[in-house]
Amino acid sequence: MDSLKLEIVTPQGLIFQGEVKSVTFPGEEGEFGVLPRHASLLALLKPGVIEIEKIDGNKESIVINWGHVKVGEQGATALVDGAIPLEGASESEIAKKIEEAKELIEKASENKAALAAVEARIEKAAKII
């Protein structure tokens, strides 16, 4: 099975590292997906949700405020200023993570329509957990 190596890094350290089936990024020019053997590119990332499909079929969502991603045939490395992983939390912690994610996005953007769209994605990702 083809896979690609994904790393998501913030100034505080590594947020995610592993082999994945696919990943979708919130690009400045629009959302885009990356699969194994993707053509090389460098893209700016806007506030939004990185959606990851793991090798086992499980999905993971990470809310980011901004950054950039370098994609190559073997993988992708995203350098982001701030990130909140929505997975790995108990039911009692998930509401707190959603609020942290919303605050992160609100600090990164003044565009109310974009904020509403991202908040809807956050709520949708949280329901999948």
pLDDT at 87: 75
Question: How do residues 7-20 score in pLDDT, each as one tens digit?
Answer: 999 999 999 999 99
Q: What is the pLDDT of residues 48-74, one digit of tens each?
A: 889 999 999 999 989 898 999 999 988
pTM of the model: 0.83
d(CA 51, CA 78): 13
Could you give the CA distance from residue 45 to residue 49 in angstroms, rounded to a whole number?
10
For residue 106, pLDDT over 90 is answered with no
Quick one: fold of 1-129? ATP Synthase; domain 1 (2.60.15)
The full DSSP string for 63-128 is EESSEEEEE-SSEEEEEES-EEE-SS--HHHHHHHHHHHHHHHHHH---HHHHHHHHHHHHHHHHH
Cβ contacts of residue 56 below 8 Å, gap of 6+? none
Q: How confident is the model at residue 86 (pLDDT cuts 50, 70, 90)?
A: confident
CB 89 within 8 A of CB 122: no
